[in-house]
Amino acid sequence: MIRVGVVGASGYSGAVAARLVESHPRLSLAFATSDKLAGESVAAHLGLAAVAGADTSTRFVPNAAALDHGDACDVVLLATAADVSMRLAPAFAERGRTVVDLSGAFRLEAPAYPRWYGFEHAAPAWLGRAHYGLPELFPLPRPAPAGALVANPGCYATAALLALGPLVREGLVEPAGIVVDGKSGVTGAGRQSGEAHSFVAIDGDVRAYRVLGHQHTPEIVRALSRFAAGVKLTFTAHLLPVARGLLATCYARPRAGTTAARVTECLHAAYAKAPFVRVVPPDEARLSRVVGTNFALVGASADEDMVVAVGAIDNLLKGAAGQAVQNLNVMNGWDETLGLAHLQRVSP
């Protein structure tokens, strides 16, 4: 059993990560941190009592004590804010621990952080060492070396890149002028207590947020730029009045010879061996078919003027905790679906 610590385990992504670890046949939960729940039962708060073999004696420890528990684990999942992960990830990795960071602390280049995250990066040397953890498009080291650092992709970036990445890589679309329209459930914003995220403010409404300033914009551009030069992209995020689930609709100009059949064939070829990506007609990439699972549904079509590619995921699973566990499976040489295949969608 590989021992896993989860830092920030009372947030949405961290809680899901802890549950996945405890139900995984090759992982065990070494510790979990939370300031507001310090000293309380992990099993009681995360619903682990019903998980076969779960340790019901584990108590939350404060976030500040995370490094003190580093010797008790082999892997650390950081479900923390980017400025916190920026400090913790190198400290754990230098101790030889594998780190999977669910924040954006290691997804960009150092000069981008002041604009997109509001801080100067304190560990720029680690940015070049971090592996971008989207295994369907960017291979991860197998097995992972001691002290490996994985930057888990953002939820919007995951859906957009899975839908659009193969089309850019194969030269079927122009890399400039791409537009990504993303819509996510409320859990994508983390636990929020303000009026803007209250039931009354969200129910029956849809709104754009962080217009021309969302931190997933440079992340998507950087990833696509590994496939083609001259990527220029506009991304807008929207908040949906649902708990979870994310849909990204991507628009790009077709290159000569691009047809609806070619873009569909391209996606099928890209994901023929990807257990968690299913290619469907674009109008069948729906939240109700992925929420509760680690699957991504992608589809695309084209005419002479436009290519439209759609990706649907569960923002807490394939967009966060599920992908983190998938990355651990890959890096340990296990079946990619281990501990994730049992997940079931939560709607009919």
Q: Identify the pLDDT of residue 190.
A: 66
Cα–Cα distance, 217 to 337 (Å, whole number): 29
**What integer pLDDT is reported at residue 50 of this predicted model?**
63
Residue 139 neighbours by CB under 8 Å, 6+ apart? none
Q: Which has the closest alpha carbon to 144: 109, 201, 97?
A: 97
What's the pLDDT at 21?
Answer: 96
Q: What are phi and psi for residue 121, nearest 5 degrees?
A: -75, 130
Tell me, yes or no, if 155 is annotated catalytic. Answer: yes
Q: Tell me the residue type at 178.
A: I
pLDDT tens-digit profile of 231-265?
999 999 999 999 999 999 999 999 999 999 999 99
Instruction: Specify the CATH architecture of the domain 156-313.
Output: 2-Layer Sandwich (3.30)
- From the CB of residue 109, how many other CB atoms can be counted at a distance below 10 Å? 12
Which one from 73, 155, 250, 266 is the annotated catalytic residue?
Answer: 155
Give the whole-angstrom CA distance, residue 335 versus residue 175: 34
Q: Give the chain's count of helices (H) and strands (E).
A: 9, 13
Can you give the residue ranges of every domain in the chain?
2-152+320-331, 156-313
The whole-number pLDDT of residue 269 equals 98
Q: Assess whether the region 2-152+320-331 and the region 156-313 belong to the same CATH fold.
A: no
pLDDT tens, the chain, 348 aa long: 999 999 999 999 999 999 999 999 999 999 999 999 998 988 888 877 666 566 678 899 999 999 999 999 999 999 999 999 999 999 999 999 999 999 999 999 999 999 999 999 999 999 999 999 999 999 998 888 889 999 999 999 999 999 999 999 999 999 999 999 999 999 987 665 566 667 767 888 999 999 999 999 999 999 999 999 999 999 999 999 999 999 999 999 999 999 999 999 999 999 999 999 999 999 999 999 999 999 999 999 999 999 999 999 999 999 999 999 999 999 999 999 999 999 998 866
Burial of 334: CB neighbours in 10 Å, binned 0-12, 13-18, 19+: middle
The CATH number of the domain covering residues in 2-152+320-331: 3.40.50.720
pLDDT, one tens digit per residue, over 271-320 is: 999 999 999 999 999 999 999 999 999 999 999 999 999 999 999 999 99
CA 163 to CA 308: how far, in whole Å?
9
**How is residue 256 written in tokens?**
């000569």
Residue with tokens 């030269």: 171
| Res 193: pLDDT | 54
Give the C-alpha separation, 159 to 181, whole Å.
11
